[in-house]
Amino acid sequence: MAQNKLDRELDNRELSERPKQWMPPELLPQPDIQPGYAYRWIRTATLNQADPRNLSAKLREGWEPVRLEEQPKFALLADPNSRFKDNIEVGGLLLCKTPIELTQQRNEYIQKQTDAQTKAVDNNLMRQSDARMPIFKEGRSEVTFGKGNQS
Domain extent at residue 71: 36-99
Amino acid at site 77? L
Q: Is residue 107 part of a domain?
A: no
Residue 1 has pLDDT above 70, yes or no: no
- DSSP class per residue in 101-131: HHHHHHHHHHHHHHHHHHHHHHHHHHHT-BT
pLDDT above 80 for 89:
yes
Which string of DSSP letters, residue by residue, matches 1-31?
A: -------TTT-SHHHHSPPPPP-PPPSSPPP
Flag whether 11 is in a domain: no
Span of 1-10, 30-39, 141-150 with lowest mean pLDDT: 1-10
How many domains would you assign to the chain?
1
Task: Report pLDDT for 144.
Answer: 75
Among 53-57, 74-78, 81-85, 124-128, name the most confident range. Answer: 53-57
Confidence band of 138 (pLDDT split at 50, 70, 90): low
Can you tell me the distance from the alpha carbon of 137 to that of 131, in angstroms, rounded to the nearest whole number? Answer: 10
The whole-number pLDDT of residue 103 equals 92
Which residue type, as a one-letter code, is found at position 121? V
